[in-house]
Amino acid sequence: MYTKILLASDGSEHSHRAIDEALKMVDPYKDKVHIEVVYAVDGDQSKKDVLKYGDSDTASLKRKEKFQSTIEYIEAKGLAADITILHGQPAETLIEYANEGDYDCVLVGSRGRNKFQTLILGSVSHKLVKYIQCPVVVVK
């Protein structure tokens, strides 16, 4: 039984499918489950956000607001949830955080890149599967 779940999210449609899959997985015992939605912001995105919003505090607030509807959606299904914003390269940051956090399971959406894109760009979900020390579910 998974009771402490890390849901790696970037706010994309792929992430929303991972949320729905997590909800299906834990439905029979949802009152015992806590889902932590984790968003890892890389340096480039962080700079863009600061330029867009004027300062880092406002950018941080806007990032949390971006995921508020996700948290409300999960809580409306009867589960406890919160959001954590991390800074750094997404794969490496999520791996370190997940391995230190004693999670029962990690869920992540798949981007659906083709073989060439994966070779050139890498794959966050592939790295998570390879290096996280608990079960990782990749949702297509």
Q: Which helix (H) or strand (E) holds 43?
A: helix 43-53
Residue 26: count other Cβ atoms within 10 Å of its Cβ: 23
Residue 85 CA to residue 34 CA, distance in Å, equals: 17
Examine the pLDDT at 28 and tell me if it is beyond 80. yes
Residue 96 CA to residue 133 CA, distance in Å, equals: 10
User: Residue 118 burial by CB count (10 A; 0-12/13-18/19+): exposed, middle or buried?
Assistant: middle
- pLDDT the model gives residue 119: 46
Q: Which helix (H) or strand (E) holds 17?
A: helix 13-26
pLDDT tens per residue across span 33-88: 999 999 999 888 888 888 888 888 888 888 899 899 999 999 999 999 999 999 99
Q: Which two tokens stand for residue 3?
A: 């009771």
pLDDT tens per residue across span 90-121: 999 999 999 999 999 999 988 755 454 444 44
Backbone conformation region of residue 9, classed left if phi is above 0, alpha if psi is from -120 to 50, else beta: beta
